[in-house]
Structure 1
């Protein structure tokens, strides 16, 4: 089982990944995390009672911050929408995209099920915060991800 600790300015969140349901999305996130891609990106989109979104490389630098939300790793990955865990609930990590099969590095974490059910089977759910999910509630736009530590058991 692969886990990660997403270290933010507001605290650390431990994530368990849905390797069976979204193997390619998990592998992509883990690869980017190990490369340090997420270190220093901000939560560029925060919608209370909905989601917090991060993963855009343009959010790292003041000179490119105006483009935050439009960047990625330089490639796109396909959505993985089948499986038992493909529903959005509190603490679920899901791949952001600009249309089916256009995700790459941007992801969001859900605040609750009540306002995210319409995302089911449209965005790939690839993990869930299993420790310190309350950190999601404290995140504000512009808060940084300090690092993502991958733990492979």
Structure 2
């Protein structure tokens, strides 16, 4: 009886590690990606049920080896916003580590065409989630991603009434969160604590480069 209980417990643990919450489990195990970095390893689980085009796009880059050798080129924390506030600014605070687009020397890699923004159906940008970075245009994400070191609600999709006409609704596209860190959170935190500076036109660049050695699916 004890052996049966132990076996059941092991199977349950395995399911929790590889299956998503809710109905997505019916479609099989969620994709998992391992990131080997210069500061250690972390693992993310992806949620195609909530952001199918985004996950497909991300896995394409992973399978091509695109992320291997790319930098975590941007680290933004509360400290940066305190400094800007003291300088007279009033920025919206957020905490992220961003990577997946630049090689050593801040050389931008060529990418595939941008993808549709799925933030209206995706999960919230809570602490530990991975999301796609993008430009000003909502549908401009390509390969760069970021990990939310803290809850960043300002990055979520939202609808609000038009202040000039309350019968109208204005939609604000967000940043599509499509997975979460399930192992190695200490590594993410270590990256978030590195010293940063300005490099040319780029702000918040780690002084000592932190890069992805390899990003891959587990065998």
Once the two structures are TM-superposed, the CA of residue 151 in structure 1 deviates from its matched residue by: 3.6
1:124 to 173, 176, 194: 176
Give 3-state SS (helix, strand or coil) of 2:175's partner. coil
Within 5 Å, give how 1:87-98 maps onto structure 2. Answer: 87-98=124-135
Q: Aligned pair 1:136/2:172, yes or no?
A: no
Q: Could you tell me how far apart the structure 1 residues matched to 2:43 and 2:144 are?
A: 18
Correspondence for 1:109: 147
Matches within 5 A, 1:1-153: 1-49=30-78, 50-56=95-101, 59-62=102-105, 65=106, 68=108, 73-83=111-121, 85-98=122-135, 99-113=137-151, 116-121=152-157, 122-139=174-191, 140=194, 141=206, 142-151=209-218
Deviation at 1:61, TM superposition (A): 3.7
TM-score, with length taken from structure 1? 0.86
CA distance in 2, matches of 1:40, 1:23: 26
CA contact (8 A) 1:13 1:133 kept: yes
CA RMSD of aligned residues (A): 1.7
SS at 2:59's partner residue? helix
- The answer as to whether partners of 1:72 and 1:105 remain within 8 angstroms in 2 is no
User: 1:20, 1:147 → 2: CA distance?
Assistant: 26
| Cα distance in structure 1, aligned partners of 2:60 and 2:175 | 20
Larger radius of gyration: 2
Helix, strand or coil at the partner of 2:56: helix
CA-CA distance at 1:72 after TM superposition: 5.1
The equivalent residue for 2:86 is none
TM-score by length of 2: 0.61
**Secondary structure at the counterpart of residue 53 of structure 2:** helix
Change (3 A) 1:72 1:54: farther
Instruction: Write 1 or 2 for the structure with the bigger share of helix.
Output: 2
